[in-house]
Amino acid sequence: MRHIISLLMENESGALSRVAGLFSARGYNIESLTVAPTEDPTLSRMTIVTRGSDDVIEQITKQLNKLVDVVKVQDLTDGGHIERELMLVKVRATGEYREEMKRMSDIFRGRIIDVTDKTYTIELTGTVSKLNAFLGALEPDAILEAVRTGASGIGRGERVMKV
């Protein structure tokens, strides 16, 4: 099953490699991993999307907790949560594509943030599946380049993860 795991860790050099190294050393999947400092610059917040049986996910959260730099771990999948991913897609915008791409971007509530004679760059935010759907809806020929951030997640309602 797909799980989205949030963690807070000390914003130290090498912290990311400890997490990445743990996943590769123990053979866990990483579907995506995002990381950036929080409002408190001494802390980094990481969102990891992974897949595994309940046993594997239990081990993953325990092993993450065991890392000395990790302050808090939460499996967001355990409760209501919101996740978003940002994608930038550069698409062909010549001939019939010029209108078509604008229309598709509107349908998916994207924004065109850069324009040339031949290309549009579309910014799109949403769940992982929405971004997948958008890419699926475009003709493969039309996609020149796509870059995705990986999912970021946060608990729904009053659920808060803080030190």
Partner 1 sequence: MADTETTGAEIVVRCLQAEGVEYVFGYPGGAVLNIYDEIYKQKRFKHVLVRHEQAAVHAADAYARSTGRVGVALVTSGPGATNAVTGIATAYMDSIPLVVLTGQVPTAAIGMDAFQEVDTVGISRPCVKHNFLVKDVRELATTIKKAFYIAATGRPGPVVVDIPKDVTQHTCAFEYPADIRMRSYNPTFKGHAGQIKRAVQMLLEAKRPMIYTGGGVILGDAAEQVIELTRLLGYPVTNTLMGLGGYPAPDPLFLGMLGMHGTFEANMAMQHCDVLLAVGARFDDRVIGNPKHFAKEARRIVHIDVDPSSISKRVKVDVPIVGDVAHVLDEIIRQLKAGSERPDQAALKAWWAQIELWRSQDCLKYDRSSEVIKPQYVIEKLYEVTGGEAYVTSDVGQHQMWAAQYYPFSKPRRWINSGGLGTMGVGLPYAMGVQLAFPDAMVACVTGEGSIQMNIQELSTCQQENLPIKIILLNNRYLGMVRQWQEFFYEERYAESYVDALPDFAKLAEAYGHVGMTIEKPQDVEPALRDAFGKYRDRLVFLNFVTDPRENVYPMIPAGKGLSEMILV
Residue 129: other Cβ atoms inside 10 A: 11
Site string for partner 1, 60-79 (x = CB under 8 A): --xx-xx-xxxx--------
For the segment 7-66, give every residue that binds partner 1 (CB under 8 A): 9-10, 13-14, 17-18, 21, 25, 55, 58-59, 62-63, 65-66
Instruction: Tell the smallest beta-carbon distance from residue 75 to partner 1 (Å).
Output: 14
Complex with partner 1: residue 24 or 117, whichever CB lies closer: 24
Q: Is 154 in the site for partner 1 (CB under 8 A)?
A: no
Cβ 29 vs Cβ 52: under 8 Å: yes
In the chain, DSSP assigns E strands to: 2-10, 32-37, 43-51, 70-75, 81-92, 111-115, 119-126, 143-148, 152-155
Number of H helices, E strands in the chain: 4, 9
Give the residues lining the site for partner 1 (CB under 8 A): 9-10, 13-14, 17-18, 21, 25, 55, 58-59, 62-63, 65-66, 68-71, 163
